[in-house]
């Protein structure tokens, strides 16, 4: 999984530090800032033939002209000219072969690594009647349209003040406000994405199956539709009038004379659901009930070197323990898709990966946008040679497990194991879509820093460098920068994250964003027009 040369914390500041991610890599990344001078001898015996700046690659073996340059265990390019051991592998030495067309890619060609299952790891969660398990016990007020947001914000405050103290087992009450529901092209083909996202959000395990929808009445997206299963055209059993009255309410209902009546109506409905949620108790659950979403944002040169590989290691541990992991962010993986399709568990899963890439290519083309700004000048200065290397740094979060399934944006998870949940890279849209897909805990890596947090699921923030980890001491939950300083190996950090995930999922430890009450709004992905 990795190649760490230093375990001695005391000496780490002085000694040359490089990181090789996979044993077969023939390049490593220089960690020491601002770089290592010519003549520096690395632990494996390599002597630098020239200065290599921090974040840049040094060749660990001679590489012939046209030879493979290997990082993350993958070919990131070919040598433009012969490269000596100890030489700095600068951008202009790396030739990026044109990636093959989507339809030519190898599917499911790589056998799954043979790894022992991890037994005996558990967490304390809230088991739901549908078998899913929540890591929190939250009453979510779903909304069918933004028109009601002012009212739901008001009522949530009142519920927290007046009702929540009577239901001590309930963690929180959250209005799931959004900007969809009316003034949108609801019959456009792409409208399926925001609609199923709303339907599935309401069913996230952290909300305990207690669905209540606040609607207006005249909106295009009717409240009853949020009570249906995605794809169902017919109302469900839940839709008999008594059930409907228990689960959905419209402000335009003639029974409400003025604002006070609306507030009373919502609070009466909330009280019933709070009473049910309050009966729930945490119980010991196997890790197979965890659904962890992996994300990154505000990445830096060390994202792909420290935090993301550690997250990938933890991801493999979760999968070995029978749990589920989602990795996402189509625009972050797109340029290394030819290195992902072989990891598909079956050719069908490989086809699904290609289908999501093609869909996004088309979506960007329609908006006259493309991926041309990748990698940015800042990325290159930081040592990233090309888009493939950049994408591999992001994909590192997925570890090495086979990809068992692909979820279109907002679809609910169907299989345990490593899933690719297709989402934009936008932090909030990705978080919202993973939440709709059933994610009950999120891990977020950041190099530049973001105060990102969600009210509906705990978010563990992992820093890629210790400068950020130290400066944002109360905003970062785990500092993976200690991999770069030699204080910890990728494995050690991966295990630390795995254990932290179990602590947080069990409610024994609160993440920074929750301690401070910092929560971002959920944001729907609406690829269709507004009207």
Q: How far is the CB of 479 from Ca ion (least distance, A)?
A: 5
Residue nearest to Ca ion (CB): 297
Which residues are within 8 A (CB) of 229 and not within 5 positions of it... i.e. 6 or more apart?
A: 199, 236
Q: Check whether the bond before 207 is cis (ω within 30° of 0).
A: no
Angle at 482 between CA 53 and CA 286, to 5 degrees: 135
**Least distance in angstroms from the C-beta of 390 to a copy of itself:** 14
- Give the nearer residue to a copy of itself in terms of CB position, either 229 or 370: 370
- Give, in order, the Cα–Cα distances in Å from 459 to each of 137, 394, 500: 15, 18, 11
Q: 157 vs 272, which CB is nearer to a copy of itself?
A: 157
Nearer to a copy of itself, 363 or 495 (CB): 363
Residue 46 and residue 471: Cα distance in Å, rounded?
Answer: 34
**Which partner in Ca ion, a copy of itself, none is near 165 (CB below 5 to 8 A by kind)?**
none
Structure token digits, residue 365? 């083309």
Q: Which does 331 bind (CB under 5 to 8 A by kind): Ca ion, a copy of itself, none?
A: a copy of itself
518 touches, from Ca ion, a copy of itself, none (C-beta below 5 to 8 Å by class): a copy of itself
252 contact choice in a copy of itself, Ca ion, none (CB below 5 to 8 Å, kind-dependent): a copy of itself
- Using the minimum distance from each CB to a copy of itself, give the nearer residue, 252 or 281: 252
CB of 441 to a copy of itself, least distance (A): 18
User: Is 478 strand, coil or helix?
Assistant: strand
- Our CB check for a copy of itself shows the closer of 64 and 358 to be 358
- CA 339-343-346 angle, to 5 degrees, is 130
Q: Least separation, in Å, of the C-beta of 33 and Ca ion?
A: 18
CB of 233 to Ca ion, least distance (A): 28
Q: Of 116 and 254, which has the nearer Cβ to a copy of itself?
A: 254
402 or 431: whose CB is closer to a copy of itself? 431
Q: How far is the CB of 336 from a copy of itself (least distance, A)?
A: 16
CB of 176 to Ca ion, least distance (A): 11
Lookup: tokens for 31: 């960690």
| Residue ranges that bind Ca ion, judged by CB under 5 A | 295, 297, 425, 427, 469-470
Alpha carbons 154 and 470: distance in angstroms, whole number: 37
Kindly state the smallest distance separating residue 425's Cβ from a copy of itself, in Å: 6
By the 8 A CB rule, do 386 and 96 touch? Answer: yes
How many C-beta atoms surround the C-beta of residue 528 within 10 A?
A: 18
**Quick one: DSSP state of residue 464?**
S
Residue among 494, 510, 331 at smallest CA distance from 397: 494
> What are the backbone dihedrals phi and psi of residue 188, each rounded to the nearest 5 degrees, phi first?
-65, 150
Rounded to the nearest whole angstrom, what is the least distance from the CB of residue 513 to a copy of itself in the complex? Answer: 7
Nearest approach, Cβ of 165 to a copy of itself (angstroms)? Answer: 20
Please, which residue, 91 or 427, has the CB nearer to a copy of itself?
A: 427
Nearer to a copy of itself, 78 or 428 (CB): 428
- When CB distances are held under 5 to 8 angstroms depending on the partner's kind, the choice from a copy of itself, Ca ion, none that residue 189 binds is a copy of itself
- Which CB, 110 or 220, lies closer to Ca ion? 220
Query: Judging by DSSP bridges, how do beta strands 27-30 and 57-59 pair with one another?
Result: antiparallel
With CB cut-offs between 5 and 8 Å by kind, which of Ca ion, a copy of itself, none does residue 520 bind? Answer: a copy of itself
What does DSSP assign to residue 287? G
Q: Which does 161 bind (CB under 5 to 8 A by kind): Ca ion, a copy of itself, none?
A: none
452: which 2 tokens?
Answer: 């990102």
Beta bridge partners of 70: 75
For residue 286, the partner it binds in a copy of itself, Ca ion, none, with Cβ less than 5 to 8 A by kind, is: none
Question: For the purposes of burial, counting CB atoms within 10 Å of the CB of 61, is it exposed (0-12), middle (13-18) or buried (19 or more)?
Answer: middle
User: Are the CB atoms for 463 and 307 separated by under 8 Å?
Assistant: yes
Spatial CA neighbour of 74 closest among 297, 395, 352, 446: 395
Radius of gyration of the chain (CA): 24
């Amino acid at each position: 999984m990795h190649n760490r040369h230093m375990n001695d914390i005391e000496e780490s500041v002085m000694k040359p530090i490089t990181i090789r991610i996979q044993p077969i890599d023939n390049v490593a990344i220089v960690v020491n800032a601002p770089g290592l001078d010519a003549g520096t001898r690395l632990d494996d015996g390599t002597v630098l033939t020239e200065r290599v700046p921090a974040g840049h690659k040094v060749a660990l073996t001679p590489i012939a002209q046209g030879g493979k340059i290997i990082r993350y265990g993958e070919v990131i390019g070919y040598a433009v000219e012969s490269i000596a051991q100890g030489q700095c592998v600068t951008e202009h030495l790396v030739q990026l072969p044109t990636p093959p067309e989507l339809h030519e890619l190898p599917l499911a060609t790589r056998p799954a690594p043979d790894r022992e299952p991890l037994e005996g790891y558990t967490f304390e969660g809230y088991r739901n009647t549908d078998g899913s398990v929540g890591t929190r016990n939250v009453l979510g007020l779903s909304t069918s349209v933004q028109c009601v947001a002012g009212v739901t914000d008001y009522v949530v405050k009142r519920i927290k003040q007046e009702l929540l103290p009577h239901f001590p087992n309930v963690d929180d009450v959250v209005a799931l406000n959004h900007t969809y529901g009316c003034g949108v092209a609801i019959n456009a083909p792409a409208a399926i994405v925001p609609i199923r996202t709303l339907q599935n959000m309401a069913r996230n395990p952290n909300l305990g199956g207690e669905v209540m929808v606040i609607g207006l009445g005249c909106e295009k997206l009717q409240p009853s539709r949020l009570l249906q299963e995605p794809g169902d055209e017919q109302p469900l059993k839940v839709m008999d009038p008594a059930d409907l009255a228990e689960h959905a309410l419209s402000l335009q209902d003639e029974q409400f004379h003025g604002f006070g009546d609306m507030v009373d109506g919502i609070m009466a409905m909330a009280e019933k659901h709070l009473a049910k949620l309050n009966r729930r108790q945490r119980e010991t659950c196997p890790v197979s009930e965890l659904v962890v979403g992996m994300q990154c944002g505000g990445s830096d040169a060390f994202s792909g070197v420290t935090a993301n590989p550690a997250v990938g290691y933890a991801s493999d541990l979760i999968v070995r323990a029978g749990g589920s992991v989602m990795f996402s962010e189509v625009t972050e993986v797109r340029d290394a898709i030819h290195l992902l399709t072989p990891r598909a568990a079956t050719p069908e899963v490989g086809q699904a990966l290609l289908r999501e890439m093609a869909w996004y290519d088309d979506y960007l083309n329609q908006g006259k946008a493309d991926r041309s700004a990748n990698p940015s000048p800042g990325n290159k200065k930081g040592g990233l040679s090309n888009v493939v290397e950049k994408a591999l740094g992001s994909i590192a979060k997925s570890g090495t497990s086979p990809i068992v399934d692909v979820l279109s944006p907002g679809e609910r998870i169907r299989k345990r194991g490593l899933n690719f949940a297709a989402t934009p890279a936008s932090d909030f849209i990705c978080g919202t879509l993973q939440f709709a897909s059933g994610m009950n805990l999120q891990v977020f890596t950041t190099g530049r820093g973001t105060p990102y947090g969600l009210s509906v699921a705990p978010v563990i923030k992992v820093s890629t460098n210790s400068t950020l980890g130290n400066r944002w001491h109360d905003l970062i939950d785990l500092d993976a920068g200690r991999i770069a300083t030699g204080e910890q190996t990728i494995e050690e950090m991966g295990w630390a994250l795995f254990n932290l995930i179990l602590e947080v999922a069990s409610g024994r430890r609160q993440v920074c964003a929750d301690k401070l009450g910092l929560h971002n709004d959920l944001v729907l992905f609406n690829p269709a027009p507004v009207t």
